Amino acid sequence: MDLGLLVEWIIKSVVIMGVLLTGFAYETWLERKVVSKMQFRIGPNRAGPFGLLLPLADGIKLIFKEELTPAMADKWVFRIAPIMSMVVALITFAVIPVGPSINLFGRVIPLRLADVNIGLMYVLAVSSLGIYGIVLGGWSSNNKYALLGGMRSAAQLISYELALGLSLMGVVMLTGSLSLVDIVNAQAGNFWNWNIFLQPLGFILYGICGLAETNRAPFDLPEAEQELTAGYHTEYSGMKFALFFMAEYINMVNVSAIASTMFLGGWRAPFGFIPEWTGPIWFFIKVITFLFIYIWLRATVPRLRYDQLMNFGWKVLLPLAIANVIVTAITMALRQVYAPNAVVTVTFGSLLLMIAAVFLWRSWTSRSMRRRPPLHGTSAEGAARTA
């Protein structure tokens, strides 16, 4: 193996881990600042200017905080579970391109760790492994609240990962490749070449499913504090808790980076005349925009009930994702007959029809639920039968 290539991989790996860990720290600062402004509070302002040293203070606190292990817990699994979640979150970023190739010391260095021809499959497969850390952490704690949180997370992942994978299949069909580098190159030029304009429904579905995959509000059922104390990490403290915390926020970065890559041109600028060396800057702007939306939703949208979560995933998102794949296939077949503009019109028209059908279906089901008679007749009869 080329020694220079090995050194390049090591340096890139260290840089990726450093950026993700630093980004996680200031992601927590950004969330506290944004939520405080939305709720008319001050937010962090004590540790350093504008509270910028607060993530450092939190890290020092967690390092020196006492770590407790329940007496009846499975100790080995209890210790390994947060490490699994953290490792999976870090290695997911390996195939995501953050910029073009650069020439450094006479060597062409691509701004990505690896270009795998099945990069999207790698991302989906690796991200699915993160659930093992959550489920094992909840099970090994020997705590009913933690176990229930872990089981909720597993059911939630299965329910929403199907729709998430299908929401990306439209982009794969249009591009003809699973390589994230090829997908970014297919969106070259101006911003109207981005996949968000050809796959608007896929973009919306991916955004919703991404929230559910990362257990963020309004889909934070695995750690619902009003119901489960803290959910799957109830018994964790110190650095073990910090690893779960870090994995969740790094996964938010991963989901945002994949959304930018698949639908918003990746590192490419919105206009073709902007030089390519600004690619990492544009990639950073797009990721920050998605993270802001994450925080915005947490501050404004209430948590769903668990039955609403399941119904929404299986009865709304999954049928829409399947319909989006079917419409994309029909559109690609019509491309042989109609002009590309007509194909785009057909795509948008079909999507609008599907969205209208979903709203009509939801309206009909809600009316039918309102017409349904009470389970025990009148309230008096129900109380008597219950007694």
The pLDDT tens digits for 273-313 are 888 889 999 999 999 999 999 899 988 888 888 888 898 88
For 176, list phi and psi in degrees, rounded to 5.
Answer: 80, 25
Q: In whole angstroms, what is the distance from residue 56 CA to residue 49 CA?
A: 13
Residue 24 makes CB contacts below 8 A (sequence gap 6+) with 246, 249, 250, 253
pLDDT at 342: 52
pLDDT band for position 107 (50/70/90)? confident
The stretch 132-154 carries a mean pLDDT of 89
From the list 375, 219, 237, the residue with the least C-alpha distance to 311 is: 219
Q: What are phi and psi of 39, to 5 degrees?
A: -105, 15
Q: How many CB atoms lie within 10 A of CB 377?
A: 11
Q: Binning pLDDT at 50, 70 and 90, where does residue 378 land?
A: very low
What separation in angstroms does the CA of 150 have from each of 85, 136, 232?
Answer: 13, 7, 5
pLDDT of residue 8: 86
pLDDT at 177: 92
State the virtual CA torsion across 50, 52, 58, 59 in degrees, nearest 10: -170
The helix (H) or strand (E) run that includes residue 361 is helix 340-371
Count how many residues are written for the chain.
387
Residue written as token pair 């994309």: 328
Q: What percent of the chain has pLDDT over 70?
A: 86
Total Cβ atoms within 10 A of residue 363: 10
Cα–Cα distance, 353 to 233 (Å, whole number) = 43
The predicted structure's pLDDT at residue 109: 87
**Which amino acid does the sequence have at 224?**
A
pLDDT in tens, 316-335: 889 888 888 888 888 887 77
For 44-80, b where at least 16 C-beta lie within 10 A, e where not — what string?
beeeeeebeebbeebeeebeeeeeebbeebbeeebeb
Residue 245, CA distances (Å) to 23, 239, 277, 380 in order: 13, 9, 33, 49
Q: What is the tens place of the pLDDT at every residue in 201-248?
A: 889 999 999 999 888 878 888 887 777 777 888 889 888 889 988 998
Phi-psi label, residue 49: left if phi above 0, alpha if psi -120 to 50, beta otherwise? beta
How much is the average pLDDT of 365-376?
Answer: 52
Taking the CB of residue 117, how many other CB atoms lie within 10 A of it? 12
Question: How far does Cα 252 stand from its chain's mean position?
Answer: 5
Query: Is a pLDDT exceeding 90 seen at residue 340?
Result: no
Spans of all domains in the chain: 3-367
Q: What are phi and psi of 101, to 5 degrees?
A: -75, 145
Give the model's pLDDT for residue 380.
43
